[in-house]
Structure 1
Amino acid sequence: MTHPADSPQVIAVSSSTSHDTIDKTNRDSITLLAGIGVEADAHAGATVQNPWKVRLDPTAPNLSQVHLLAAELLDTLAQAGYPVTPGQLGENITTRGITLETLPHGTLLHIGDDAVLRLTGLRDPCRRINSLHPRLLKQVLHRHQDGTLVRRAGVMAVVVATGRITPGMTVHAELPPLPHTPLPPV
């Protein structure tokens, strides 16, 4: 399902079967599986799949089934001299027109007619990002003057309803009931 260009939308979808690199390959489509994540992606599973998190607790629920990133961040990085294309920061879904990091915890993202994601937190980026560009991590993880840590590497979600995602699909945010809480790092 595609909609007018002024609606928030998916601009790219990506996946990878490997944890060996941070980047994911752009695809024509991906399939989101309820309770699992992106079909055939290295991070798909009901329990944690990140190798570091598996070592800590392999039975922990996977709150990082799907990684979403706003294309506006890619625009900002390019303007700062860090050209990064969709999928290179490890995201599964690249969006445009929706400020993902400001949405509250528990927000439902409806994509197309069928797929639904529930936001679980902010991506906590690691040093592997610097493999793309030296000092790139400082662009997506830095401190405000008051010492507050700012994470700008996208958001994580779990799949609530199965669906196939393609570029051009509309993204609609359904906010949770009040009071809203900010997204924590996951």
Structure 2
Amino acid sequence: MDVTVTAVSSNGVYSFTKPNRDSITLLAGLGVEGDVHAGVTVKHRSRVAQDPTRPNLRQVHLIHEELFAEVGAAGFTVAPGDLGENITTRGIDLLALPTGTLLHLGDEAVVEVTGLRNPCRQIDAFQDGLLKQVVGRDAAGHIVRRAGIMGVVREGGLVRPGDTVKVELPAEPHRPLERV
């Protein structure tokens, strides 16, 4: 199956959802041009409150479109941008990628995967009960986060729906994703 970008979203103000765009521009070392979470240092409100000087490992948020069908089967309606992601993909298990994977998006942009999104209670404010669909526990009792992955922009460029995604795995041994 081809791996593609199905939607791109950004928002210049803090809000849970992000409107879809015809394209977004990724800026090396910063994130999505004009997005509230772009920057060298942390921009997420809870992280800024803890330490505003920490590096921003959450410049770009990606979600696999297949998640929408999974939560849809449980009665939830979620569309691209609804969960605050910048890039929605199809055809790749983003959650299974190791830390340090490079995602080549379109002709120029490259995002390095830094970790898992740690979803918060705002998801339940969007749709009550949705948080339990994207965060749960496996058979061993370990927390499983399914609300997408985060990354930093290594190479800037324009990203549009329909663009291909090429995956470049890091050297082994691979490190599984942890929350960032």
- AA matched with 1:170: T
Correspondence list, 1:145-164, <5 A: 145-164=139-158
- Secondary structure of the equivalent of 1:64? coil
Q: Which residue of structure 2 aligns with residue 46 of structure 1?
A: 40
- What SS class does the counterpart of residue 82 from structure 1 fall into? coil
Counterpart of 2:9 in structure 1 is: 14
Secondary structure at the aligned position of 2:66 is classed as: helix
- Indicate yes or no: 2:63 matched with 1:69: yes
Q: Secondary structure at the match of 1:76?
A: helix
Q: How many aligned positions are there?
A: 180
Q: Secondary structure at 2:46's aligned position in 1?
A: helix
Q: Which residues of 2 match residues 41-120 of structure 1 at below 5 A? A: 41-120=35-114
Q: Secondary structure at the match of 1:142?
A: strand
Aligned pairs for 1:117-156 (under 5 A) are: 117-156=111-150
CA distance in structure 2 between the partners assigned to 1:18 and 1:153 by the alignment: 21
* Aligned residue type for 2:121: R
> Partner of 1:183 in structure 2?
177
Superposition TM-score, scaled by structure 1 size = 0.95
Give the drift of 1:145.
Answer: 2.8
Normalising by structure 2, report the TM-score: 0.99
Structure 2's unaligned 5+ residue stretches are: none
